[in-house]
Amino acid sequence: MTSVVLVDDQDLVRAGLRALLAHDPAIAVVGEASDGVRGAEVAARCRPDVVLMDLRMPRADGLEGIRRIRADARLADTRVVVLSTFHDEADVAEAIRAGAAGYLLKDASGPDLRAAVHAAAAGESVLSPDVARRVLQLVAATPPRPHPHPRLATLTDRELAVLERVGHGDTNDEIAAALFLSPATARTYVSRILAKLGARDRTELAIIAHRSGLV
């Protein structure tokens, strides 16, 4: 069972999210809050797998909520996914810097939302396609001098090829098609690279790929 806490200042939005998530018996909403500070408190009490966090809320916004959750050692395994109507580059970048594991737009479909919750709980990065493009554009817009990750030399040639595709924003299925692998093998490669580089999620891998000059 994947446990979820909802953090949004609008009661109707939280009710809608509950209704969408209720279609999956493997997802349970275990708590709710209306601002970032209260969201972190509820998360500390409920220890959920995933927190769906609105970004702009009164009293304390989603960024404050993310920072508090990431600073709480009891919530080391809790993944925070931003769910917002806003998708400009500054919002996305700030959320990821604060420690968000993903960023979805509120127009996401029910199936996409439920899939994102499971993906986040499994340790994957979850980004709406438009948001993913903006993240990569933001990184590429101000490319630093190539600075290879210190553990990059531990990767095999095949793992480097997979990391490059992650840097382009490819899904596991797209990586599999490009490199003539099965999706399961592509997923295994990504998991292995995450472990070798000590990265939190695919978003961090994409940034490493850019900073290392692979993309």
Which runs of consecutive H residues, i.e. helices, occur in the chain? 11-21, 36-46, 62-71, 89-98, 110-121, 129-141, 157-167, 172-179, 183-197, 202-211
- Where do we find the tokens 């220890």? 47
Neighbours of 164 (CB within 10 A): 17
Query: Which pTM was predicted?
Result: 0.66
Phi-psi sector, 180: left (phi>0), alpha (psi -120 to 50), beta: left
- DSSP lists the bridge partners of residue 51 as 5, 80
Q: Among positive and negative, which fits the CA dihedral 23, 49, 136, 179?
A: negative
DSSP-derived secondary structure letter, 127: E
The pLDDT value recorded for residue 132 is 65
Kind plus residue range of the DSSP H or E element containing 33: strand 27-33
Question: For the chain, which residues score pLDDT lower than 50?
Answer: none
Cα distances (angstroms) measured from residue 94 to each of 100, 103, 171: 9, 11, 23
> For position 211, what pLDDT does the model report?
83
pLDDT at 15: 94
CA separation for the pair 163, 5 (Å, rounded):
32
Angle at 112 between CA 121 and CA 175, to 5 degrees: 75
φ, ψ (nearest 5 deg) of residue 111: -60, -40
Q: Which residues contact 9 (CB under 8 A, 6 or more apart)?
A: 34, 35, 54, 57, 58
pLDDT the model gives residue 127: 77
Domains and CATH numbers, the chain: 2-138 (3.40.50.2300), 145-211 (1.10.10.10)
